Structure 1
Amino acid sequence: MELLKNKVVLVTGGTSGIGRASAILFAREGAKVALTGRQEQAGRDVVAEIEHAGGSALFIQADLNQTDAIPEIIARVVDEYGRLDCAFNNAGVSGGGPIETLNEAVWDNVVDTNLKAAFFCLQAEVAQMKRQGHGGAILFNGSVLAKIAQPGTSIYSASKGGIVSLAQAAAVEFGPVGIRVNSINPSITRTPMTRSRISTDEQGHESHPFGAGIPLGRLAEPEEMAEAALFLLSDRSSYVTGQALVVDGGQSAV
């Protein structure tokens, strides 16, 4: 169907989990994909998979906590593909525990990666899209934990709550120039970041301490989040902006 045909899409944190699944799906849907990540080999593996399937991809090794480098990432994308049409600001880290046990280092790591870096990515992406003068679509990866509370998630939840608010504010600010901004808010998804906390019972049912009570009775797959991201970046959602799409198997409805 090629919902992103001839579009240039940036995926941050595109070497594993939701980012990797999204980069591969976007390429399959016709996009030229640039992806960032810290691990060079993982990035090259994603590019190889995309190219083997006939797509086009560029890997940019980057640590987004080095915010001064973010404009250079956008410049690399434009040098390679000529423009930037869409961006999925997906990069993030976990981190938490009982509030009494947390320190400033944990706070800085989680908030700097999940929120601060995402803000500066937004800033650079919007600047490029405004130079092009034909709008664009930007998506953030939030979390259902921005909406519901779980013990031990205070800093992570704060960072993702900030993402939801950031996306809404940006949607209002940049709507007049045709730039749409939304967030997806996943429940627990089977990714390398969550794997250590997933347990399996004798019947093979998976569970996670932050995934209890999901009505659909299972954890999400990265590809399911990628499909939601695809919709919000494609022209199928051309009148959707400022929204926080919860993709949680019904968890927040309980």
Structure 2
Amino acid sequence: MTPALTLSMLNSALSSEPTMKTMQLAARIAPYNPPRNMSDLARVNAMLKKAGISAGVYKLQKGQNLTAANLASNAAMSKAAGQPQNVRALENGWHGLSPTVQGDYGENYVMRKFVAYSGYLALRTTEALYPSYNSGQQELHLGPNESYIFTFPSKPPLAQYGFWSLTAYNKKEYLIPNTLNRYVLNDRSNLTYADGSLVYGSNSHSNETFQLLVQPADVTPPRNWTSNWLPASKGGGGLSLTLRFYAPTEQLRNGSWPYPVVTKGNAIRE
């Protein structure tokens, strides 16, 4: 039975050097965290032993360079995350993980590391989708007077009790402070159509195109955009944008629903 994670287990007598600490933590948790496929247990234990992990203890091996090993591991992770079998290209610049490497990884330990690093505790694709937008650049970036507009062709098609959200993160992958205390837009927000009517009102049965605005927190848009505005960092800067669909329908899973068109342009001012 897996023990409760305690401060003693996680912090007691651990090295302050990050890579050494990682190996020590891996050694402590390994006895309680076997492979998903138990037929792979002997192979995994042999690899751990070769790395210096055995019986819940890590011992630095002769000639072992943890810094180099960490760099090699991260390089392998980044390479795997870009391979066609692990990522799906969706329309309009969006991409998502393949069903085989989200939530249940089998023997794909490289992608298990990638998801733990970039989207910890991701659910399986039948339960949730986490598509990210990438314009083809290394990272998304807004200037102090720029914006992104997301044009949704319709309300995302979800199963009963499903919900969706769009979240913006800064360059350090933290939520972005703003005076509205708004960190996400979703189907619980007071989103409006261009004519001012509610997209998700109690009396709203329409399913038309609507738009969301992402621009710096210190550039206030006109009042008709306020409900649909997701603030980015003051003065602009690097950011990432992630959609989340919970209880997605097959249309969302297979990409037949057109993902939002994202356009970059000047900030919209009052």
Q: TM-score, normalised by structure 2?
A: 0.23
Hey, which of these two has a bigger chunk of strand by percent? 2
Hey, which of these two has a bigger chunk of helix by percent? 1
